[in-house]
Amino acid sequence: MNNEHNRRIYRFYAPLYDRFFKAVSDRPRRRAVQMLHLQPGERLLIPGIGTGLDLLYLPAHVSVTGVDFSLAMLEQARAKVNGRDVTLLEMDAQHLDLTDASFDAVLCTLSLSVIPDGRAAFGEAWRVLRPGGRIVILDKFLPESGELTWRRRALGRVVSALGTDPNRRLSDIIAGVPGLAIQQNEPSLFRGQYRLLRLEKRG
Ligand SMILES: C[S@@+](CC[C@H](N)C(=O)[O-])C[C@H]1O[C@@H](n2cnc3c(N)ncnc32)[C@H](O)[C@@H]1O
């Protein structure tokens, strides 16, 4: 997967995405927002915001910055802003043009498995998160104990061609990040193949 491949794929998905993913992701999105414990006036970053489905669940009292590499997806997100404090930026989540420690919270829904270098995207989210801030992740990961068999690799190649990589391990994405504490790690969709996590940046 690379940025241009993703851009082509998500241009195609943009008008269809909500029809397929809104209903199935309803409960985990509600839960993800609950896990963030957002306070009035807080600043929230959403890397890979896509069509902005998360915006439907967020309280109106937060200031949201959504970043995506696909203009077609961002256009769909724009239709959900509804006069709220939301800034949408066409930007690569692997190289955020945003100031260090400028966000109270980050929400990564279904993006760390899509952005070509999930580890770089996580590192950037971590950089712009203030000490004491938190990240909530909803995504699928290769189970830590699971072996990367040839079958799983082959499946991974096919699924990656469709725009998401099912063979990433969370531990590889967050390895070596200083001050990271996993506060919650819950099973979510598809019998726990998707996880919901809350991480805190200890300052
Ligand atoms: C599966 S969608 C998830 C969208 C949204 N977060 C959601 O939960 O519905 C993944 C999104 O990541 C975006 N993306 C892929 N590579 C990116 C990059 N390098 N920088 C920013 N966004 C990227 C895609 O354009 C797409 O909108």
Domain extent, residue 187, equals: 3-201
pLDDT band of residue 155 (cuts 50, 70, 90) is confident
Cβ–ligand 1 distance for 76 under 6 Å, the answer no
Q: One-letter amino acid identity for 160?
A: S
Query: What's the whole-number mean pLDDT along residues 45-52?
Result: 98
The domain tally of the chain equals: 1
The rounded Å distance from CA 48 to ligand 1 centre is 3
CB 195 within 8 A of CB 140: yes
Query: What's the whole-number mean pLDDT along residues 34-52?
Result: 98
**Is the predicted pLDDT of residue 146 greater than 80, yes or no?**
no
The rounded Å distance from CA 125 to ligand 1 centre is 14
Which CA distances in Å does 193 have to 144, 189, 201? Answer: 11, 6, 25
Instruction: Give 92 or 192, the one with higher predicted confidence.
Output: 92
> Helices 3-13 and 71-78: crossing angle, nearest 10°?
40
**Is the predicted pLDDT of residue 3 greater than 90, yes or no?**
no
Distance, CA of 173 to CA of 191 (rounded, Å): 22
Phi then psi dihedrals of residue 114, to 5 deg: -115, -45
DSSP codes, 48-111: T-TT-GGGGGS-TTSEEEEEES-HHHHHHHHTT-TTSSEEEEE--TTS--S-TT-EEEEEEES-
CA 93 to ligand 1: nearest atom: 20
**Is the predicted pLDDT of residue 114 greater than 90, yes or no?**
yes
Greatest Cα-to-Cα distance within the chain, rounded to the nearest angstrom: 49
Cβ–ligand 1 distance for 67 under 6 Å, the answer yes
Which CA distances in Å does 134 have to 6, 32, 34, 58, 105? Answer: 27, 12, 12, 16, 5
| Structure tokens that stand for 95 in this block | 């190289």
Cβ–ligand 1 distance for 93 under 6 Å, the answer yes
CATH number, domain of 25, equals 3.40.50.150
Neighbour-count burial for 49-86, b at 16+ CB within 10 Å, e otherwise: bbbbbbbebbeeebebbbbbbbebbbebbeebeeeeeb
Beta-carbon count within 10 A of 31 CB: 16
The rounded Å distance from CA 142 to ligand 1 centre is 19
